[in-house]
A and B are shown apart, each in its own frame.
Chain A
Amino acid sequence: MSRPDIATLAVGDVIGTRTVTFDRANLVRYAGASGDFNPIHWNDKFAESVDLPSVIAHGMLTMGSVVGLVSDWAGDPGAVVDYQARFTKPVEVPNPGAASIDVTGTVGAIDTEAGTVRVDLAVTVDGAKVLGRTQVLVRL
């Protein structure tokens, strides 16, 4: 896969956009793969009993999925050296149906000496932010 040339990048450049969708099967699959079996991610009655609107996606599923926009752009998943996010709003996952998450990546900072670029992700559901301060540092 080709890799971006740091010399041609500018702060504010949009590296790409993507939409990821989660249905209940995606949540069960992530629970198994990650070992996070908290029932708020698969049991509606349990979620309601702890005052959540319904089953919600693992914050780490959202965080783990949206970073694909950046690692695919960088051309190397090992290029991600630092990645942080705040979980600002739970992602409700309907049954039946799916939650749809929109991701836009923008160049936030460039360090040519270190060879690193910080990509800031805007992560929204129906226009409402679900992740905050989502920053991915990649070494190009």
Chain B
Amino acid sequence: MANADFEGRVYPANASYSVGREKIREFASAVGATHPAHHDLVAARGSGYPDLVAPPTFAVVVAQRAESQYISDPAADVDFSRVVHADERFTHHRPIVAGDELTTVLHVDRIVSRGAISMVTTRCEIFALPTGIEEPVGDAETPGEPVATVTSTLAIRGEDA
């Protein structure tokens, strides 16, 4: 049973994630995204992007790093081996591109347990840091330029569920 005391918790902006060209290509290939803007710099720039553009669900890579701050905390009582993903939502304030330096503020929005199943909703607010800066700027909950919001609900099944 997930620890309900974690509901409402907001984590400080985490260590930044550097979006690399090869990671975008690798992720795009893994999800079968063949659009040249993911793979070819000239094509990406021709489409108006400063660099290779990430596929629509790439932000999950950034979000899962931030979510692990909560999920891997033993006090949270989240048994990762019994976690099933229930839903996911990406809201893009602007596309993620190679060269972005992204930091995430993790919010634990909701923890509900019914019977042997706990439903946990987290929200990752992802921000881009200004070029050349790898530490958060601005205030604690808005440490840069808003890039994406990733909302995820996990279902954690108890041993007898």
Contact = CB atoms under 8 A, between A and B. Distances in A.
Interface string A45-84: 0100011000000111101110110011000111011111
Given A29-B29, A33-B29, A76-B47, 11 more contacts: A1-B35, A32-B30, A34-B60, A59-B88, A68-B33, A71-B35, A72-B35, A76-B37, A77-B33, A82-B89, A87-B87
A13 interface: no
B85 A83 contact: no
B1 interface: no
Interface residues of B, number: 37
B8 interface: no
Nearest to B27: A33
Given A65-B32, A72-B35, A35 B65 contact: yes
B83 A64 contact: no
Contacts of A86: 86-87
A108 interface: no
A85 B30 contact: no
- What are the 10 tightest A-B residue pairs by CB atom distance, in nearest-first order? A78-B95, A33-B30, A84-B89, A64-B31, A64-B57, A80-B56, A59-B85, A86-B87, A30-B30, A33-B27
Chain B binding site: helix, strand, loop or mixed by DSSP?
A: mixed
Contacts of A80: 56, 90, 92
B82 interface: yes
Interface residues of A, number: 41
Interface of A: 1, 20, 26, 29-30, 32-36, 38-40, 46, 50-51, 58-61, 63-65, 67-68, 71-72, 76-78, 80-87, 90, 133, 136
Nearest to B155: A87
Nearest to A132: B87
A29 B30 contact: yes
Nearest to A27: B30
B30 to A, nearest CB: 4
Contacts of A1: 35
A84 B87 CA distance: 8
A63 B53 CA distance: 18
Nearest to A59: B85
Contact of B88 (A20, A46, A76, A84): A84
Nearest to B79: A50
B57 A60 contact: yes
A50 B49 CA distance: 44
Nearest to A61: B31
